[in-house]
Amino acid sequence: MIIIMKPSASQKDVQNITRLIESKGLTAHLSEGTQVTIVGVVGDKSRLAGINLEISQGVDKVVPVTESYKLVNRKFHPENSSVSVGSAVIGPDTLTIMAGPCAIESQQQLIDTAFAVKKAGATILRGGAYKPRTSPYSFQGLEEEGLKYMMEARQATGLSVVCEVTSLKAIEKAVKYVDMLQIGARNMQNFELLKEAGKSGLPVLLKRGLAATIDEWLNAAEYIISEGNENIVLCERGIRTYETATRNTLDLSAVPVIRKKSHLPIIVDPSHATGVRDYVEPLAKASIAAGADGLMIEVHPCPECALSDGPQSLTFDGFEALADQLRPYAQLEGRKF
Ligand code: PEP
Ligand code: MN
C-alpha cells in the first residue's frame, strides 16, 4: 500500500507514520515529490490490521498496491527516475545512446569503436566480455581481458562503460572495471544474479527476457531494487513470437506501458530486436517517438568480420549517419542529445 500525505503534512507527520510502520516490522519507503510525500509500505500488511492510517495526522489517503512489484512501481514513486552511469545520465530529459560491439574482440577493435561512437554522440560504450551464446561452440568472450580493454577505453575517451554479466563470478570481476552491469535477456529471471547485481552498488541495465511478460520483467527489477539498488534501467530488446522475418519482435508498446507502470528509465535495443542492420534506423526513430529514454545500438569496425552479431551491427559511418538522423526526433520529444 501507499500512504499519500497531504500537501500540508509536516516532517513530523511523515516521521510519525514511518515510525508506526516500522514498529510493526514493515518497511517504509519515502518518495518526496514536489507536491506531496508518498510513504510506500512493503511487508505483511495484516500487521497493520486494526489501525486506521487514514485518520492519522497529515494523511490524505491510503491506496492499496495490488501489483506484486512495489518499489519499481510508479505508485510508490510518481516522478520519473534518472540513473547516473559514470558521467552519463539516463532519463527523463535526455536521449542516451549506448553503442559498441556485440563482443569485445581486441583492444584495437574496442578503442577504435569507442572513439567512433563518441564522435557520433554516444555517451556510453557497450561491449560484451562474457557472451551468452546460443551455441557453446560460438565465441564466448574475452572475459577479464575484455573488461580491462573496457576500462582502458573509458579512460581514453571519457565514455561510461557497460558490460553484461552472466554469473556471480563475472559480477565480482566486472565491478572493478565498468560503470554499469548488464543483465541479459537470457538471465532476466536468474534471481541469484539479480540479487547480486542489486548488492553490487553499480547501476544495472536489465534487459527483457526472451519471452517475459512486462509483469515478470518488473518483478525481476524488483529483485534488484529490493537489495537497495535503485539505479536500474530497463531495456526492451524484442520478444519471441511466431514471426521469423526479424530475429525477435520489437514490442514497442512496452515503452509506454513501462512508463505508466514504473518510474524506471527504459531504453530500446533495435539491434537485438531485429537482427537486421537495415531495420535499426526506423525502429530507433519509433522508439524515441514511443518515449524511450535511450537506445542501445551495436556498432563494429568491420561487421562482416564480427565474431558475433555482424548482420545487425552498424559500421562507424552508418552509426554516425543514424545519430544525425535521430537528432531532430530527440528534439521533437524534448530530449537532449
Ligand atoms: C547483448 O546485449 O549483447 C545481448 C546478448 O543481448 P540480449 O541479452 O538482449 O540478447
Ligand atoms: Mn549482440
Site of grid cell 518518495: 31
Q: What is residue 34's predicted lDDT score, i.e. its pLDDT? A: 86
pTM: 0.97
- Number of Cβ within 10 Å of residue 295's Cβ equals 28
Q: Which ligand lies nearest to the CA atom of residue 311 in the structure?
A: 2
Number of CB atoms found within 10 A of residue 254's CB: 23
Instruction: Give the pLDDT score at 79.
Output: 95
In this structure, what are the phi and psi dihedrals at residue 297, rounded to the nearest 5 degrees? Answer: -130, 130
Domain boundaries, the chain: 2-63, 83-332
Query: Nearest ligand, CA of residue 133?
Result: 1
The closest-lying atom of ligand 1 relative to the alpha carbon of residue 269 is 9
Output the ligand 1 site: residues, CB below 6 A.
102, 128, 132, 164, 184-186, 207, 237, 272
CATH fold group of domain 83-332: TIM Barrel (3.20.20)
The residues, any chain, with a CB within 8 Å of residue 229's CB and separated by 6 or more, are 197, 198, 199, 200, 201, 203, 204
Cα–Cα distances in Å, from 121 out to 104, 280, 328?
20, 17, 13
Class of the 2-63 domain?
Answer: alpha beta
**What pLDDT score was predicted for residue 35?**
86
Output Rg (C-alpha) for the chain, integer angstroms.
21
Successive 10-residue mean pLDDT values, the chain, 337 residues: 96 96 96 92 92 95 95 96 98 97 98 98 98 92 97 98 98 98 98 98 98 98 97 98 98 98 98 98 98 98 97 98 98 97
Q: At 226, is the secondary structure helix, strand, or coil?
A: coil
Chain-centroid distance of CA 270 in Å reads: 15
What confidence score (pLDDT) does residue 97 get? 98
Ligand 1 atom with the shortest distance to the CA of 237: 9
Look at residue 41 in the predicted model and tell me its pLDDT.
96
| Number of other CB atoms surrounding residue 332 within 10 Å | 10
In whole angstroms, give the CA distance from residue 226 to residue 229.
Answer: 7
Instruction: Tell me the best of 272, 297, 299, 308 to mutate to test the pocket of ligand 1, counting ligand atoms within 8 Å of each CB and taking the most.
Output: 272
Q: How far apart are CA 234 and CA 278, in angstroms?
A: 24
Q: What is the pLDDT of residue 33?
A: 87
